[in-house]
Structure 1
Amino acid sequence: MLDEFLHTLEHGPVYWAYALVAAAAAVEYVFPPIPGDTVALFAVALAVRAQLHWAFVYLAMTAGALLGGLTAWGFGVWLADHQSSWPWFLKTPGATRALDAVRRGYEQHGSMYLALNRFLPALRAFFFVGAGLSRMKAAPVLLYGGISAAVWNAILMAAGYAIGNNWDALQNVLERYTLATLILIVLAVLGIVARLAWDSRRA
C-alpha cells in the first residue's frame, strides 16, 4: 500500500502530490501507524529532483501536521466533555490520579510538550489528545504545534537537500532516528513504571 502511495505521489498530478503529503501528515495524528514522515521524506526527495516545489512541499507538510494535531486535540476535548461515559477502568483511583498528573503537567509544561511533539514519532497524537483532555485553548495548541511542525519539517527539508537525491539514504536516516527515539521512550516508560511500583510497595 505504501509503495502504491509513493508511486502516486511521484507520477500523479502535481497538485494531487501536495494534497497527499498534507493528508499523510494529518492522518498520522488520527492513525499513528501511518508513516507520515516517510511520505514527507519522499516528497522532499522529489523536491530535490525538482519534480515538486520545495516551498509547497514544506507548506503541505506543515499544514497537514497542524490539521491532524487539531483533530487529535479536538478528540481530547471531546473525551474531557464526556468523562462520565468513560469505561470503568478509566475511573479507578489509579487512572484518576494519572489523569490529574497529566492535567497538572499540561498546566505547567503544556507548551513544551506540544513544541516537542514532532520530534517523538508514534507519540505525536497523544500530546494533542493530552492537551485536549487538559482543556488547553486552541490558540496555544496551534502556536506551539505549529512551531514544532515548522522546525521538524525544516530539518527534513535540510536533510533532503544535504543528502541529495538518495531516497535510500534518507529513509535509512529516518529509520535510525525513529528506532533510537522509540528505545528512549520505552526506557523512560519502564523507568516510570518501576518508580510507581517502588512507591506503591513503600506505601
Structure 2
Amino acid sequence: MTLAAVTTAVPASTSADGSWLTALADWTVSLMDTIGPVGAGAAIALESLFPPLPSEVILPMAGLAASRGGFTLFEALLWTTIGSVVGAFLLYGLGAWLGARRLRAIADAVPLLHPEDIDRTIAWFDKHGGKAVFFGRMLPIFRSLISIPAGVARMALWRFGLLTLAGSAIWNSIFVFAGFFLGESWHVVEAYADVLQYVVIIAAVVGVAWFLYARIRALLASRGNPDPDAV
C-alpha cells in the first residue's frame, strides 16, 4: 500500500470543502511518499518556523503512514523530533541575531513599551528559561515562539538542545502514536489539541489585554506627574 492511500484518512468534515487542512495533509503525505520519514521531519521543521501550521495534523499523518508500512514507527518518531529540534535552533538563531540591544531599541520606539521591559523579560528567562523551553514544547503556538527569547537570552546551546529534544519528543510521541494506533480515527485526538490551543490563545489575549490596561492606566495617571519614571 502506498503512502498516498493515507489521504483517505483525512476527516470528511475537512475534505468536503477542500480546506487548507486537507491541502496540508495531502502535501505532508506527498512529501513522505517522496522522501520517506525525512519528509515528515521537514514538515515539522516548517511547522516550528510557521506556528499556524498545525503539528496536530502533520504528526498523526506520520504515525498513520508508519502503521501502513511506509516506514517504521521509530523512523517517524526520530525524524519528526529531529525536525522539531532543527526548526527550534533556526528560531533560536533569529533570537540571538536580534539580541537584547536591538529589542531594546524596538521597545523604545513602540508606544507603551520600554527598554526595561526587555531587561525584565531576559532576567525572567535567565531564572525560569529551562522550564519555559521544556514545557513550552508541549503548548501550541508557544512551542515555536519560545525559541526566540531563548536565543535573545543566549541560553547555553547544549541546554537549549537537550530541553528542546526532551519536550519535543514527548509532544511528537503523543500525536505520532495517535496516528499509529488510532488509524483512520486519528483526528479524534485533534479535538483535545484544539481545546488546549484555545486555552493558550485565550490566556495570551488576557495577558496582553491586562498589560495594555495597566500600561495605559499608568500613562494617563502620569500626565500630571513630571517624573518620567512614574510610567
TM-score (norm 1): 0.82
**Pair 1:201-2:213 in alignment:** no
Q: Does the CA contact (< 8 Å) of 1:77 and 1:132 recur in 2?
A: yes
- Give the Cα–Cα distance (whole angstroms) in 1 for the partners of residues 107 and 133 of structure 2: 29
Give CA deviations for 1:44-90 in whole Å, capped at 9, x if unaligned.
01112233210011000000000000000000000007618954765
* d(CA) in 2 for partners of 1:73, 1:179: 28
Output one character per residue of 1:146-178: Cα deviation in whole Å (capped at 9) or x when no partner.
11011112222333344x222xx3224224313
Q: Does 1:33 align with 2:52?
A: yes
Cα distance in 2 between the residues matched to 1:179 and 1:190? 16
Give the corresponding residue for 1:180: 196
Mapping 1:53-202, distance limit 5 Å: 53-80=72-99, 83=102, 87=106, 90=109, 94-162=113-181, 164-166=182-184, 169-191=185-207, 193-194=209-210, 197-198=213-214, 201=217
* Number of residue pairs aligned between Structure 1 and Structure 2: 197
Structure 1: which 5+ runs fail to align?
Answer: none
1:45 maps to 64
User: In structure 2, the residue corresponding to 1:174 is in which secondary structure?
Assistant: helix
Percent identical residues:
24
Cα separation, 1, equivalents of 2:43 and 2:75: 15
When normalised by structure 2's length, the TM-score is 0.73
Q: For 1:172 and 1:90, how far apart are their aligned partners in 2?
A: 46
Structure 2 unmatched ranges of 5 or more: 1-22, 222-231
Hey, what's the Cα distance between the residues in 2 that align with 1:151 and 1:84? 32
**Counterpart contact for 1:62–1:146, Cα < 8 Å:** yes
Q: Is the 8 A contact 2:84 2:168 kept in 1?
A: yes
Q: Which amino acid aligns with 2:113?
A: G
Q: Which has the larger Rg?
A: 2
Deviation, structure 1 residue 181: 2.6
Match of 2:28 in 1: 6
Residue type at the aligned position of 2:193: Y
Aligned CA-pair RMSD:
2.7
Instruction: Give the aligned residue type for 1:104.
Output: A
Amino acid corresponding to residue 4 of structure 1 in structure 2 = D
